[in-house]
A and B are shown apart, each in its own frame.
Chain A
């Protein structure tokens, strides 16, 4: 038999249409606009889940997504709140945390084992019964039973978008206060965004009752909606504001879209969360908040029960009773703990024939899978049983404090010490409505209007006069929370925590609320304390003889509510950078690798296995010619009258006097005297240097240069042209021959173009800067040119040198080639502490310059002596049986004194060679060092003088 109410109820549903879905495989009929929970309630299915720990049957509590009772699974989507999710045709909904069915869940046995699961249970599992019980016994049990939804490892792809919007005023919450604030600000001329998490505007005006007659509220709702529509406000509905960050930066989640909002002024009209009351079995299906019952009736046209008891710990209980009576629900009684009528609503109830029991509390609810009756206790201890299938609780309110606390506000309590209030709201943030502690409708609307005007005043759009906030007279009840000797009187429904759990935590010594939370896990469930924080704080206050304000709450931090990882994750394509020769590498069959953000060729295998191809490339460079794409190198244009003096300050060598047309090595240190970066500087003219840097360090170096330029006030323009220029290093004994085959303006002959010379000119129709530098130790020309010309020149060079044996080569071969010459790689052979002295590069430190960055430190460290040195070594045997590799330890007297930084097989030498940090007294050629390989064995290797190949460095000067 359907629980639907007649017309006049159910503002969100369309009775003319029907939607079908399934729950636990059973078909359910619903209307468009229904949520899963309201459709099931209409059908009379009130059990939605089994509780987290005790597997007790649970159903609707808040009907507002503020409890975990309603979490369900829909296909591959886990942890959906059934009281918020609208039904769609064909939805397959399944419950969580059940073995078997909801009604006959096998886990329900745990409810009877409760006394073996005391508070702090998880903490205790680390102590017994045996030493590793936590790992062998408890962890598998807890893991199998923990968790709620099932995460799919192969989910259907979803598209998430992120956008950023700016506004003058953001109003969070479109209840009466929020609407009034948005309207006032917009009418004052502000650019306003209004964010509301419900699908419609109006907040409590859409479901609550404010007095005996209801026409007033309906009129306000209609007027506010019309004014909002006319005021040009940007409305985001179904949009949850999930946090507050610095300078009014707030994320709003709307479906699959994350909207980051930057607001100059912020109005928080976040309402208040109704609180449950505490008594034994207060978690039975059929026990719900008064606002939950009202939402079921007004939004979805569902009768929440047939025979009700109303537990009025707050005035709103009486108003809900009037609603239930209007809907035709029989009311057995209104239970009011207060002895006197202070709300003035008793006459109306009497007129309707609804009994009121004063000075009474509810001692327990009774029922198995659903509420059957309640036991009422009066002040003399007398007990009365009332049969019912619905118990509606009105426990008062906690303001929606989360966003305000994210922003830096604090929770204190009202004068009566019975409920929380928000204080210390920072500048540019304004509270309105129930969040500010108001409940009278006129006061709420007025406070919204004032908040909107204050926001406008903050923008200079309205006069900044002192606008008094409305003060609402009235008193608040203190809701009783007696502990029942048999327990099951729940404080936190998500975590299955009873009053005695909180009391036992305190008795175990955890008196501070932060410790109570961590020991008991109260407030750590999906609703994050929204229905438990106040009750917990009251219990702690009572048991530790402190006031509510002294106890406080644990801080609120973002996120306010659940957020899908897809909304947080960057789902846009990963950033990568390509050199201008990228397409050519792919066409030549290169195996590419990411190096930081860049794609670079590792090797060009052709028909060979990669290992063989690498050796082939090395041989090719040593015997004929090879070409490496070095376009990722950092490149800087340094131009201006102070260019030379500026480089003298940044680098260790002398550049101010560097001749035009010459290329000089440059080494940059930080103020600690450690190596920052290296490269070469090519002087193109008196006031123009072209400087290279390593791929990885150029951005950091460029930032440092910009800082030094500003500090010095140097007349120099520094431009990072790394990507604007392509670069290729043509190297090998036949490199000159290749170049001389192309038309151009540069004389590549040995006499005209010596080692460490640089030339500008034209080559094959392309404007080029060529430097005779390299790291392979062979005759090398590094050609830099604007990136739009690079692919054309690369192809021309390969064509010209094809019959000479010229081929491109990749990073793997390059690493061995430079290792054979003992050239260091910054960041591999150096670390944050490496000084030039350790690397045998003291020659690069100018003695003449009075200052360069790092000079005082490097001289101080020199006086302290080296702690280690970088040296070359070779394995004695042809094989590498010990498994030496990069990071292998260097030992002295059994203790580590260093490690291998570079290592590889040299086909040129027929040996395994490497570089390593060693103790200073081991570093001389002729010494022997002990290496521990990754295979576990140790090997003794001789220290070899650098370079390994071509000891005189004659080949590069051909």
Chain B
């Protein structure tokens, strides 16, 4: 049972969390990029940014996960000090 570290509640069993999808480059879908956004799910050989929610406390946050090793590298709240772009993985 994997551990996910919620930025607010700390490390918890992954069963306390809900996956909400990848972090898109744009907040709103646009006609020009629609097909890619809907049907070409990002699946890099490397790190992906994803939205997650801690269901008991309704904390929505971002996680950086290495899709090869399934290692969760870091988690942070949008708008917090930790919300800075990392170097490309």
Contacts and interface: CB of A to CB of B under 8 A. Distances in A.
A597 B3 CA distance: 28
Given A247-B1, A703-B20, A710-B78, A671 B53 contact: no
A709 B34 CA distance: 21
Nearest to B23: A711
B3 A703 contact: no
Given A247-B1, A249-B1, A856-B29, A707 B51 contact: yes
A706 B1 contact: no
A577 interface: no
Nearest to B58: A706
B64 to A, nearest CB: 16
B29 A671 contact: yes
B74 interface: no
Contact of B38 (A671, A710, A853): A671
Interface string A394-432: 000000000000000000000000000000000000000
A853 B21 CA distance: 15
Interface string A847-873: 000010101110110000000000000
A245 interface: yes
Contacts, number: 50
Interface in A816-836: none
Contact of B60 (A710, A853, A857, A859): A710
A713 interface: yes
Given A672-B38, A703-B53, A711 B27 contact: yes
B18 A856 contact: no
Given A246-B1, A671-B29, A703-B20, A856 B58 contact: no
Contacts of A569: none
A707 B38 contact: no
B2 to A, nearest CB: 4
B79 interface: yes
Contacts of A245: 1
Interface string B38-55: 100000000000010101
A561 to B, nearest CB: 20
A408 to B, nearest CB: 10
B34 A856 contact: yes
B27 A712 contact: yes
Q: Chain A at the B interface: mostly helix, strand, loop or mixed? A: helix
A427 to B, nearest CB: 11
B36 interface: no
A855 B28 CA distance: 10
B65 interface: no
Interface centre among A707, A709, A855 (most CB of B within 10 A): A707
A711 B3 CA distance: 25
B81 interface: no
B31 A707 contact: no
B74 to A, nearest CB: 16
B67 to A, nearest CB: 15
B84 interface: no
A706 B30 contact: no
B78 A857 contact: no
A703 B3 CA distance: 21
Contact of B28 (A707, A851, A859): A851
Contacts of B31: 856, 859-860
A522 to B, nearest CB: 32
Interface residues of A, number: 24
Contact of A707 (B2, B37, B53, B55): B53
Contacts of A672: 38
A246 B2 contact: yes
Interface in A671-709: 671-672, 703-704, 706-707, 709
Contacts of A246: 1-3
Nearest to A704: B20
A262 B51 CA distance: 26
Contacts of B28: 851
Interface string B1-40: 1110000000000000010110000011111001001100
Contacts of A703: 18, 20, 53, 55
Interface residues of B, number: 21
Contacts of B3: 246-247, 262
Contacts of A855: 29
A859 B30 CA distance: 11
A259 to B, nearest CB: 14
A707 B38 CA distance: 17
Contacts of A860: 31, 34
Contacts of A247: 1-3
A856 B53 contact: no
Given A703-B18, A706-B60, A856-B31, A713 B2 contact: no
Contact of A713 (B21, B30, B34, B79): B79
A722 to B, nearest CB: 14
A671 B34 CA distance: 9
Interface string A248-265: 010000000000101000
A857 B1 contact: no
Interface in A240-289: 245-247, 249, 260, 262
Interface centre among A704, A709, A710, A713 (most CB of B within 10 A): A710
A24 to B, nearest CB: 44
Interface string A542-555: 00000000000000
Given A706-B60, A712-B27, A857 B34 contact: yes
Contacts of B53: 703, 706-707
Interface in A312-361: none
B9 to A, nearest CB: 15
Contacts of B34: 856-857, 860
Contacts of A704: 20
Contacts of A711: 27, 78
B82 to A, nearest CB: 15
A363 B17 CA distance: 61
Contacts of A260: 1
B65 to A, nearest CB: 13
Nearest to B3: A247
B29 A707 contact: no
A246 B2 CA distance: 5
Interface string B60-89: 100000000000000000110000000000
B20 A707 contact: yes
A324 B30 CA distance: 83
Contacts of B29: 671, 853, 855-857
13 contacts: A246-B2, A246-B3, A247-B2, A262-B3, A671-B38, A703-B53, A704-B20, A707-B51, A707-B53, A851-B28, A856-B29, A857-B34, A859-B31
Given A245-B1, A710-B51, A856-B34, 17 more contacts: A247-B3, A262-B1, A671-B29, A672-B38, A703-B53, A706-B58, A706-B60, A707-B21, A709-B60, A710-B60, A710-B78, A713-B78, A855-B29, A856-B31, A857-B29, A857-B34, A860-B34
Pick the 5 closest A-B CB pairs, nearest first: A249-B1, A246-B2, A710-B60, A247-B3, A856-B31
